[in-house]
Amino acid sequence: SEIFTPAHEENVRFIYEGERGAWQCVERDLRSQMGSERGLVEEYVEKMPNPSLKAFKPVDLGDLKRRNTQDAKKS
């Protein structure tokens, strides 16, 4: 049995019910996009992006893993 701290429960409540039920909005948007696209890769794009994330650059995790593996082999 897992023990959830009050901070954990507050985080879950914020994500699930938080600002206009953000997670519920994501689920609703994804459900509305399903149908003929079922089985394809889904990409969620916020309608109102957070301005503080404007400079965020996506990371290619596959490339990062390859570089780390190559660096480990060189050592």
39: left (phi over 0), alpha (psi -120 to 50) or beta: left
Is 24 within the bounds of a domain?
A: yes
Is 68 within the bounds of a domain?
A: no
Q: Which residue has the tokens 């990062």?
A: 64
Structure pTM? Answer: 0.28
Per-residue pLDDT band at 45 (split at 50, 70, 90)? confident
Q: How many domains does the chain have?
A: 1
56: left (phi over 0), alpha (psi -120 to 50) or beta: beta
Is 20 within the bounds of a domain?
A: yes
Average pLDDT, integer, range 34-62? 76
pLDDT at 38: 55
Is 44 within the bounds of a domain?
A: no
The conformation of residue 42, written as its DSSP 8-state character, comes to P
Q: What is the mean pLDDT of the chain?
A: 78
